[in-house]
Structure formats: structure tokens, C-alpha cells
Amino acid sequence: MARGTLDVRICGGRNLSNPNKEGKICCIVYYKDQQKRTEAIYCDGPDPEWNETLLFTIADHVEELKVRVHDGDYVTEEEVGHCDINIEGLLRDGGENRIEPTSYDVWRNNEGNYGNVTVELHFHPE
């Protein structure tokens, strides 16, 4: 079982903004019972850039991060897409590991691919 800290850097997205409106957009990342969010940034096009690092404590073997892209309007905070990232290989040997910035497909309900989000991962063992 790997124990340590996982740095999750949400770099940015491509084709994520709602084509019908401008506004704020953010990412919420879930790992086990932990939840962290990026700052909601104003996006007037399809390619938001967060470049924000979120820190998670790794103490149990959970193989997946869940990334949810949300309308950053805190009144409705509607999910506009989601992706799951398998981190089993990153944690497997319990040593320091990194996954360079990688683009992951974002899905929107049953409507198919909604664009992508680029994420960099870095695991620091205890």
C-alpha cells in the first residue's frame, strides 16, 4: 500500500466551455473521501487554463481519481463533463513517480466526448 502525497496539477482544458454561454469554469477532483477544487476561472472560449496544483493524502489503495468539470457559477454549479484517471501504475511500487502532462477525454452525460483536460501527476512517498 502506497502512502504519501499526490500532487495533481490541472493544467487546462480543450473544447470544455459551454458553447451556449460564457462564464466561469472549474475542476473538482475526488480521491477516496477527499475533494479539492480549482479556482473557478472566467472562460470566454473553449480552452480554459488553470495551472493549479491540488494536494491529496494517499493512505489507502484507491486506483482512480475522478475529475469533474463544472460550471463555476456557484448558484447552479452544473457538471459539464467528467473523466476518471487510473493511478494504479503511479502508486504500484510505492516510490516517487510522475506522469507528465497527459490529455484525458472528458465525457458529458450520454452525449459523448466533450473535449479534454490535461493533468500532471506526481506521487511523493512518505
**Residue 78 confidence class, pLDDT cut points 50, 70, 90:** confident
pLDDT of residue 12: 95
Is pLDDT of 37 > 60? yes
pLDDT of residue 19: 52
**Residue 80 confidence class, pLDDT cut points 50, 70, 90:** confident
Is pLDDT of 109 > 80? no
**Mean pLDDT calculated for residue range 3-22:** 83
Is pLDDT of 20 > 70? no
**Mean pLDDT calculated for residue range 90-106:** 92
pLDDT of residue 53: 98
Is pLDDT of 114 > 90? no
Domains of the chain: 4-125 (2.60.40.150)
Q: Which residue has the cell 496544483?
A: 53
Q: What is the secondary structure of 69-124 as a DSSP string?
A: EEE--TTT--EEEEEEEE-HHHHTTSS-EEEEEEEEEEE-TTS-EEEEEEEEEEEE
**Residue 74 confidence class, pLDDT cut points 50, 70, 90:** low
